Copies of this chain bind each other. A is one copy, B any other.
Amino acid sequence: MDKVRLASVGLGRWAQVLARGAQRGEVIELVSCFSRSEERRATFAAEFGIPRTPSTYQELLADPEIEGVVITTPNDTHKADIVQAADAGLAVYVEKPIAHTLEDAVEIANAVERAGVVLAVGHSARRLSGHRIMKRWIDEGLLGEVSLAEANFTTGAGLHLTPDTWRWYASGSPGGAFIQLGVHHADTLQYLLGPVRAVTAHARKLYTESEVPDAVMAILEFESGPLGYLGTGWASPGVFTMNLLGTEANLMYDVALTHWSESHLIDEHSSLSSQSHQEGERLAVELPTTDAFREQLEEFALAIRGRAQVEVGAAEAIQALAVVRAALESSNRAGTAVELREVIEQAGAGAAAGA
């Protein structure tokens, strides 16, 4: 098979991380790239050997060579960027979250369906080696029944935000740490335990000078019965943990954020341990080496050619974003549980009214 020809759109740090992931494999060829900054276009194209650097997004989308775009623009421009690409008949990979509001997310889902193009959303965390093992242990009954799931994703990013980044603003990045980091766990927890029914949360802006929360805690009520805890911080050294407590065993996963942007190295610096009633103490579980960024981009590329199915599309991404939006709504209501159905239906009605 000849390589699948993709274009990078939005050329910040994460575009580089994904380009490196794509170039670790033999499936994808980056043939074009776009940022509003001419300097960024030139630098990015030089670093990754990209032949074309169109000066407008429209020019990029009109290029008949390009089969799909890899979008890493700010959350609040995802909708415009995706709808244009879909209307041009191009497949879309977009970084998580799918959008900053559920209304935008529903409009994205509608546009992609209308155009009949592939949409993949970059919820890479569910592909981490330890999460795949958790899923297998659940499916095989090795955990028994899960009653508690606990997840935290924290970085110090909120301490260094400045007003020249979109992440500073509540309008573009509502929920701060929770939409940027927590949305990963919101996806992974539902991948592992099925849909969340309702969310109870509190958000605080404590130590960041930006407009957004740097401490958010949420309790998730899963339709299947268990309770989940999802904590995110933006004011501390980096933490990424996922613990599942089952009637037969526990699994505790501790992911090395020091290697977060190198998904081919992360497993060897992370740890997964299991604990049964009999043993009491924790035993190390081997983490096979994987490469989440490369895998998700190759899956997207192969899906364009009809040779793979996208694992995380609009439906899954909306479900993850709905946890975030329900959490923010719950925090506004002094912690009262907010049902996902409520925020999703509202968004659907809003999108329909706007269409």
Tell me the A residues contacting B by CB distance below 8 Å.
145, 147-148, 150, 152, 154, 156, 159, 200-202, 204, 206-207, 214-219, 221, 225-229, 231, 233, 235-239, 243, 245-247, 249-250, 256-258, 275-277, 279-281, 330, 333-337
- In the complex formed, the residue of B with least CB distance to A156 is B277
**A258-B280, A277-B237 known; A152 vs B150 contact (CB < 8 Å):** yes
Known A-B contacts A202-B221, A238-B280, A335-B219; the reply to A148 vs B275 at CB < 8 A is: no
Closest beta carbon of chain B to A221's beta carbon, Å: 6
Q: How far is the CB of A238 from chain B (nearest CB, A)?
A: 7
Highest count of chain B CB atoms <10 Å: which of A147, A214, A280: A147
With contacts A231-B229, A237-B250 known, is A215 near B335, CB below 8 A? no
Q: Taking A204-B225, A227-B204 as contacts, is the C-beta distance between A147 and B237 under 8 angstroms?
A: no
Q: Which residue of A159, A217, A235, A280 has the most chain B CB atoms within 10 A of its CB atom?
A: A217
Inter-chain contact A237/B276, CB cutoff 8 Å = yes
- Asked if A245 and B154 sit within 8 Å, CB to CB, the answer is yes
| From B226, B233, B238, B281, contact of A258 by CB (8 A) | B281
Shortest CB–CB separation between residue A339 and chain B, in angstroms? 10
In the complex with contacts A150-B152, A219-B219, A335-B200 CB distance below 8 A: yes
Task: From the candidates B202, B237, B275, name the one contacting A227 in the complex (CB within 8 A).
Answer: B202
Across the interface, which residues of B come within 8 angstroms of A258, CB to CB? 280-281
A229:B229 contact, CB within 8 angstroms: yes
CB of A191 to closest CB in B, whole Å: 20
Give the Cβ gap from A243 to chain B, nearest Cβ, in Å: 8
Which of A249, A275, A335 has the most chain B CB atoms closer than 10 A to its own CB?
A335
- CB < 8 Å: which of B200, B206, B233 contacts A219? B200
Once the chains are docked, how many angstroms separate the CA of A207 from the CA of B225?
Answer: 10
| C-alpha spacing A233/B145, complex, angstroms | 12
Which chain B residues lie closer than 8 Å to A216 at the CB level? 227
A236 touches B200 (CB 8 A): no
Q: A201-B219, A237-B250 are in contact. Are A231 and B148 (CB under 8 A)?
A: yes
Interchain nearest-CB distance for A141 vs B (Å) = 14
Given A215-B226, A219-B200, A231-B229, A147-B236 contact (CB < 8 Å): yes
Considering the complex, give the chain B residue whose CB is closest to the CB of A241: B243
16 contacts between A and B (CB under 8 A): A145-B206, A145-B235, A147-B204, A148-B215, A148-B231, A148-B233, A150-B229, A200-B200, A200-B334, A200-B335, A202-B337, A204-B227, A218-B219, A236-B250, A238-B275, A257-B280
Which of A152, A235, A276: most chain B CB closer than 10 A? Answer: A235
Closest to A330 in B: B335
Assess A236 versus B229: contact at CB under 8 Å? Given A202-B221, A219-B219: no
- With A200-B202, A219-B202, A330-B335 in contact, do A245 and B233 touch (Cβ < 8 Å)? yes
Q: A202-B219, A227-B202, A335-B336 are in contact. Are A148 and B159 (CB under 8 A)?
A: no
Residue in A215, A245, A256 with the greatest tally of chain B CB atoms within 10 Å: A245
B159 & A247 in contact (Cβ 8 Å cutoff): yes
Interface residue from B207, B225, B334 paired with A336 (Cβ < 8 Å): B334
Q: How far is the CB of A227 from chain B (nearest CB, A)?
A: 5
Closest Cβ of chain B to A107, distance in Å, is 30
Is the beta-carbon distance between B147 and A207 smaller than 8 angstroms?
yes
